[in-house]
Structure 1
Amino acid sequence: MSLSSSSSLQAWLTLSFLDGVGPRTMARLLQNYPSPADVLAADLLALQSLGLRPATLNVIQRYQQGDVVLSRRLDAVHQWLERPGCQVLCLDSADYPALLRRIPDPPPILYLQGDARLLHDPQLAMVGSRHPGPHGAATARQFARSFTENGLLITSGMALGIDGACHQGALDAGGQTIAVWGTGLDNCYPKRHRALASAIVEQGGLLVSEQPPDAFAQPGQFPRRNRIISGLSLGTLVVEAAMNSGSLITARLALEQNREVFAMPGSIHSVHARGSHQLLREGAHLVETISDVLEVLRLPLLAAIDSASANRPETAPAAPRSPLWPHLGHVPVSVDWLGQRSEMPVERVMQELMDLELEGLVQHTSHGYSRLI
């Protein structure tokens, strides 16, 4: 899609580039003018009567007089659109996702890289702490994989910690995932997730941003990004969140958008669970298994309803024979604590833990030793 082939697209992009014209201001303008092109051609006195700030009026005036910087920005988007898999969706497009269009402040422009058809698939937003506890990332990855296997598309923000684990879980299942960025799609943030971004696109997924491709990270862009994550989705699942977590912003936005909110409980001793517990106190759906989400969203439990699996007797796996196993749980504990509880010398405890790690049954973190999920 090129700018020269669509004057309407060029007008949408131009209006979105003007300082002071955010989603809410643009919505107000389009309530009074038929299209962005009409806004850009409007008399400044008429625009002033709509309550626009002087700074915004000055920007529109500069555009009407010819703005070289703006022309360069449009040319840069034109070049970006020539790349394979890159496209732009405007708010008036028939392909704009219906759920996102319903939120109070839908982004006027969506920059996309990958399979845009995924925007219309049933999605679950999964978010959480950038600094999860010892089991947070593993739990997020496992649940994301299971949701993907059961027909839900996972949408998240590709941040460090829980977000990245959710995207990876979807990829583990051989499925697709949507990553909503707070930066432009030419500036991966965090940089260490460049390989993850490439894997998402290569596996048929989608990268989404409301920022122009060359936009760098700015603090205010990430809370705004969160409304897109929740707005695209049927519900938002908070895997792990402290009280000051940005994930709580996403959950609040989901409530404002009349979407379902889910939260996983955690240890009462963990600061990483306090935000999730607050959501549960406020009425979020408690999640222990994927069926807790699928039933609320009224989606078919593809794996659970398989009659052969449902009627197959389950055999509980044999517990490891290690004398430490009864004293290990999912909350990390120290070597000294294990020695006291098992009445074993430290040297024997260390050997037993090493054997359990080699068998893939135990993990060692900075918090201590615990069973693997």
Structure 2
Amino acid sequence: MNNLNKEKISDRQALLGFNYFSKIGPKSMLLLEKYFSSPAQAYLANLFNLEKAGIKYQIALDFINWRKTFSPQATEEKLTKEGVFFITWHDDNYPRLLKEIAAPPFLLYYRGSLEVLNDESKNRLAIVGSRKNSAYAEKIITTFLPDLIEQKVEIVSGLALGIDALAHRATLNNKGITIAVLGTGVNANNIYPRANRCLAEEIIKQGSILISEFPPNTPPLPQNFPQRNRLISGLAQATLIIEAQKKSGSLITANFALNQNREVLAIPGNIFSEFSQGTNNLIKCGAKTITKVEDILEIFQLEKSEPRKKKKIKTKKIILDDPLEKIIYQLLKQANERAEKINIDELVKLSKLDTSVINSKLSILELRGIIKSDGINYDLA
């Protein structure tokens, strides 16, 4: 930028510039807007006035040197060409619920349907949990989500592996609305984790939205994700933790929800599982215990719809002549009834059969379509 004073800059573009300069966050932006008549005036200010506004000398100096290399106008044009858009906290469509939290982001990037962010008269539930979910957690999501979606409850999560991804997919499968809050940029080649890039595009395709307070091409820095978590809880009236270890990012989200005066909900889990220690502790500390979908609907003062008449599905009779296949099938069936999957080591321990025999019989059962595997665990097909 050769001559800042001759180059016209809008307030939106000024906020875009401040957002790209990572050393000025929401609290500093509030100081600037309090001192200057507009974001544009703050962006073009000299060192003396930036300091008077409350910005530390070194940060103000770094900003003045940095802005010589940055063009908000060119950056906005580039983002638009790439299909990345943004709103600021001065825009009418900025989420009302976010404005209520401490230090809300002054700018949000998005891809997808902006209308989704309008939270007037909407019920929103944030769902978070372990990246290594159990079959128990998967069953909770696939059981609860259809009823929640039918009552127009929108689902907020963080696009992480495990619980987050399951929540987003179950919402899409039931034709619901979901908001994915990222700890990276929202541009397609920047989605993290890479394994969820197709899911991210599907969220956009089905009329939902990806959002982030981080500029495009921001890498998945560890410190970004706890910061991102305050937005997950901030966008919803309640946060549900399904599975979490004793020290988990999900508990950070729960703590944000508590500080934001939002409901904290938790699913009780197996007392012997490390992935239930966090949720069980939350319940001990006062989180609302969730054991059925009606417990969640009650938070929003909603009632479960009358159950639809399900078509009777003829179950295929499993005929096994091999006694060893029968043993393995029964163990898998028992695990399935407990909403669990089972791995080879557990099958060897329970069946007392040799590993090579187990592998052979599992392959036969899988080829016959009786069981299925995710590469590690086995379950009934």
TM-score, normalised via structure 1 length? 0.81
1:127-276 aligned at under 5 Å gives the runs 127-186=128-187, 187-276=190-279
1:127 Cα offset (Å): 0.7
The answer to whether the 8 A contact 1:77-1:213 is kept is no
Question: Which residue matches 1:75?
Answer: 74
Q: Deviations over 1:318-372 (max 9, x none)?
A: 9x999945685235564366558xxxxx98xx69x949x946xx76678876779
Question: Which residue matches 1:115?
Answer: 113
1:338-349 aligned at under 5 Å gives the runs 339=351
Distance 2:178 2:286 in 1: 28
1:22 lines up with 2:25 in the alignment:
yes
Unmatched runs of 5 consecutive residues or more in structure 2: 1-6, 320-325
Q: Deviations over 1:288-336 (max 9, x none)?
A: 22211110222x22xx344xx49x89x9x99x99994568523556436
1:33-44 aligned at under 5 Å gives the runs 33-44=36-47
Q: Deviations over 1:13-57 (max 9, x none)?
A: 122223420111112222323321222244433432444222211
Question: Which residue matches 1:343?
Answer: none
Counterpart residue identity of residue 218, structure 1? L
Change (3 A) 1:46 1:67: closer
Unmatched runs of 5 consecutive residues or more in structure 1: 341-345
1:9 Cα offset (Å): 0.9
Question: Which residue matches 1:292?
Answer: 295
Distance 2:153 2:100 in 1: 21
Distance 1:216 1:74 in 2: 23
Q: Deviations over 1:142-164 (max 9, x none)?
A: 43344223211111110111111
Q: Percent same amino acid at aligned positions?
A: 32
TM-score, normalised via structure 2 length? 0.80
The answer to whether the 8 A contact 1:329-1:370 is kept is no
Distance 1:5 1:128 in 2: 46
Distance 2:176 2:272 in 1: 35
Distance 1:221 1:49 in 2: 29
Change (3 A) 1:19 1:335: closer
Distance 1:363 1:268 in 2: 27
Counterpart residue identity of residue 215, structure 2? P
Query: Secondary structure at the residue paired with 1:283?
Result: coil
Distance 1:287 1:105 in 2: 30
Q: Deviations over 1:168-193 (max 9, x none)?
A: 00111122311111111121111111
| Residue among 10, 32, 35 paired with 2:35 | 32
Counterpart residue identity of residue 106, structure 2? P
Change (3 A) 1:142 1:67: farther
Question: Which residue matches 2:98?
Answer: 100
Question: Which residue matches 2:88?
Answer: 90
Query: Secondary structure at the residue paired with 1:135?
Result: helix
Distance 1:262 1:277 in 2: 11
Counterpart residue identity of residue 338, structure 2? G
1:229 Cα offset (Å): 0.9
Distance 2:257 2:239 in 1: 7
Q: CA RMSD in A?
A: 3.5
Distance 2:91 2:9 in 1: 12
Change (3 A) 1:330 1:18: closer
Counterpart residue identity of residue 330, structure 1? A
